[in-house]
Structure 1
Amino acid sequence: MPAPLDPVIAQIIPLLPLRDPTTMTPQSARDSLRELAASRAAVPPPPVASVQDIKVKGGAGPLDARVYRVGTTPAPTVVFFHGGGWVAGDLETHDRQARNLAIETGAVVVSVDYRRPPETRFPGAFEDAFAAVSDVFGRVAEFGGDAKRFGVAGDSAGGNLAATTAIACRDAGIRLAAQLLVYPVTDTVGLYADVSENARFPSRAENADGYFLTRATMQWFCGHYLADSTHAADWRVSPLRVTSFKGLAPAVVTTAWFDPLRDEGAAYARALEGAGVPVRQHEGPGLIHGYFGLGDASEAARAEAQRARADFKALLARGI
């Protein structure tokens, strides 16, 4: 039997945003995530040695980015993409996640603020992500300084961008040491509304409602990101649809048991394993989508996130 819902998280769920797509707008989604981040202002953020705002190349021009360092010696470099359904989220909403990633891996973390829909629809976010990774990799001496210990990471929609960027890196000859995919979106075909497509992933029914991220909210996100439903079959938004998984970077894939995205994340981990890619999967027992941001309140969330980051650290340290 799976672990029951963490009681601390059960109390938090009613306080979380993005749960009612019938009234949500892109701006209200963005505002609510920013307000959630601001509500933690009284809790000091995890301390790092330095934080620097910079620009990196995007698909259509410069992007805002933020660099987190924990030291001055050569280190791995990780490009991080925030979640928020592609529509919401930014450098501020995921500041603590980026800090924890830097602290627990020892890496120089470059958090990238990609363009968001509906102002910029697919493939804008993907193009920004790949351009940013290519730029940082080309300038790695300015960051961690070691091209053999270079990785990508992201949560939710950011996990989707990390996964698709890892594929693009393989195809472009950019070798990554590791990828950290935190409850990623991996298959948008059917836009979470098609009965036959949803049947492939039982978690979409089991966790359709009541656990923060809902299936209806995923429909809303996809409707904003994809201007045409046929785009959903493109591996640049549905990495589970890529022709080949061979040669992709070693991966840490996390899912959450009470998450509609659980089974597509697990399917992606299995697809990587089937192609001979080293994979460590963390199933997130008792947890919900978004638990990487709930570690200050939930010990179960904190411990599971730390285990995943420790595995990612080991992959980065091994290098290529």
Structure 2
Amino acid sequence: MSRQQRQALDDMLRHAPLDLGGDVVEQRVVFRDMMASIPLPPDVSTTAGELGGVPVVTVETPASDPETVVLYLHGGAYAVGTAADAVGLAAEIVRRTDARALCVDYRLAPEHPFPAAVDDALAVYRSLLDDGLPSSAIAFVGESAGGGLVAATLVAAKDAGLPQPSSAAVFSPWVDLTVSGASAVSKAAVDPALTPEGLRRRARDYLRDTDPTTPHASPVFADLTGLAPLFIQVGSHEILLDDAIRLAARAAEHDVQVELQVWPEVPHVFQGFAVMLDEAVAALDAAAAFTRAHWSNAVTPHGRTRGAVESVG
């Protein structure tokens, strides 16, 4: 079934109305409508709120442990998407970790250029720490631009003297806003969702006059020494393949514990299609296992302590 599933997903994405490089106002509506058409399971609840002056949406189920938090950063090339749009994928992580997720509604370009997104993500993380939640009970997760923002926020946290979270998992991270990875060309024909031209347009909106190699914008150029353990997933059929590979290599160069998974013949953020793709289910299980294994001294409502060897069965 998997080959048929992959082909069906490829066909669907190639005919989808979403164009991340298109007109921002139009694509925000398209993306919102796409996400709104996917119903949430009845046991998933969402609550709008604010942390550190930044809007957030809390995602949880009756099994969620309030003492363990997934700080979730959504994708959308820094110009499209909202915290509410990310609830579905965040809920998949919540279900597998028994945590609660905080989806961050960071400000978007072009109205709010760099470093607004980094500032907002860091403000939410700082607020969690200020509220007394230990960094060991917080994990970051993000997809696409949100994956890049996860890495950038970890670097910004280090630079600000804040402790690192327990771990970070990123799906198809966009970490090089120069869009100079070789896969931007070599994988263009097989990527059904992204184009190099579209990413470059969004990068210009986000960066304006900022050098695209600025570490807090493109963390593949940052000193990653001291960052939290990093888990990276990417599909082989996407132009951001090299971003993920180079991020893993950069992390290894700087002695960061890192795990890279390249999933063959699947597209950008394939984890979002668990309802139709077996690989997405397996990838989400693996990401949750990594996250759970790196929580320490966080006691669940049932009295269990999340130890370093705990994993999803």
Q: Say if 2:20 and 2:199, in contact at 8 Å, map to a contact too.
A: no
Q: Say if 2:55 and 2:104, in contact at 8 Å, map to a contact too.
A: yes
1:164-183 equivalent positions in 2, closer than 5 A: 164-171=152-159, 172-183=161-172
User: Which residue identity lines up with residue 89 of structure 1 in the other structure?
Assistant: G
User: Which residue identity lines up with residue 48 of structure 2 in the other structure?
Assistant: D
Alignment correspondent of 1:77: 69
Alignment correspondent of 2:175: 186
* CA distance in structure 1 between the aligned counterparts of 2:245 and 2:211, rounded to whole angstroms: 22
User: Which residue identity lines up with residue 219 of structure 1 in the other structure?
Assistant: R
Q: Say if 1:280 and 1:311, in contact at 8 Å, map to a contact too.
A: no
The answer to whether the aligner puts 1:63 opposite 2:44 as a matched pair is: no
207-216 vs 123-132, which moves further: 207-216
152-161 vs 172-181, which moves further: 172-181
Match of 2:271, SS state, is: helix
Q: Say if 2:235 and 2:262, in contact at 8 Å, map to a contact too.
A: yes
Alignment correspondent of 1:300: 279
Alignment correspondent of 1:7: 7
* CA distance in structure 2 between the aligned counterparts of 1:202 and 1:138, rounded to whole angstroms: 42
Alignment correspondent of 2:245: 266
* CA distance in structure 1 between the aligned counterparts of 2:261 and 2:270, rounded to whole angstroms: 12
Within the candidate set 118, 121, 133, 1:129 is matched to: 121
Alignment correspondent of 1:313: 292
* CA distance in structure 2 between the aligned counterparts of 1:14 and 1:258, rounded to whole angstroms: 13
Within the candidate set 34, 38, 41, 1:45 is matched to: 41
Within the candidate set 193, 217, 221, 1:241 is matched to: 221
| Percent identity of equivalent pairs | 24
Q: Say if 2:64 and 2:94, in contact at 8 Å, map to a contact too.
A: no
The answer to whether the aligner puts 1:208 opposite 2:206 as a matched pair is: no
Q: Say if 2:75 and 2:143, in contact at 8 Å, map to a contact too.
A: yes
* CA distance in structure 2 between the aligned counterparts of 1:259 and 1:306, rounded to whole angstroms: 21
How much has 1:266 moved relative to structure 2?
A: 1.0
Alignment correspondent of 1:195: none
306-315 vs 211-220, which moves further: 306-315
How much has 1:226 moved relative to structure 2?
A: 1.1
What 5-or-longer segments of structure 1 have no aligned partner?
Answer: 193-197
User: Which residue identity lines up with residue 238 of structure 1 in the other structure?
Assistant: S
Alignment correspondent of 1:157: 145
User: Which residue identity lines up with residue 27 of structure 2 in the other structure?
Assistant: A
Q: Residues 155 and 73 of structure 1: is their aligned pair in 2 closer, same or farther, counting only changes over 3 Å?
A: closer
User: Which residue identity lines up with residue 217 of structure 1 in the other structure?
Assistant: G
* CA distance in structure 1 between the aligned counterparts of 2:167 and 2:176, rounded to whole angstroms: 21
How much has 1:85 moved relative to structure 2?
A: 0.6
What 5-or-longer segments of structure 2 have no aligned partner?
Answer: 296-305, 309-313
Q: Residues 164 and 39 of structure 1: is their aligned pair in 2 closer, same or farther, counting only changes over 3 Å?
A: same
Moved over 6 A (4+): none
* CA distance in structure 2 between the aligned counterparts of 1:80 and 1:46, rounded to whole angstroms: 21
User: Which residue identity lines up with residue 55 of structure 2 in the other structure?
Assistant: D
Alignment correspondent of 2:206: 225
How much has 1:120 moved relative to structure 2?
A: 0.5
TM-score, length-scaled by structure 1 = 0.85
* CA distance in structure 1 between the aligned counterparts of 2:170 and 2:132, rounded to whole angstroms: 22
How much has 1:275 moved relative to structure 2?
A: 2.0
Q: Say if 1:6 and 1:287, in contact at 8 Å, map to a contact too.
A: yes
Within the candidate set 104, 121, 127, 1:112 is matched to: 104
* CA distance in structure 2 between the aligned counterparts of 1:73 and 1:39, rounded to whole angstroms: 28
How much has 1:179 moved relative to structure 2?
A: 0.7
Across the aligned residues of Structure 1 and Structure 2, the Cα RMSD in angstroms comes to 2.2
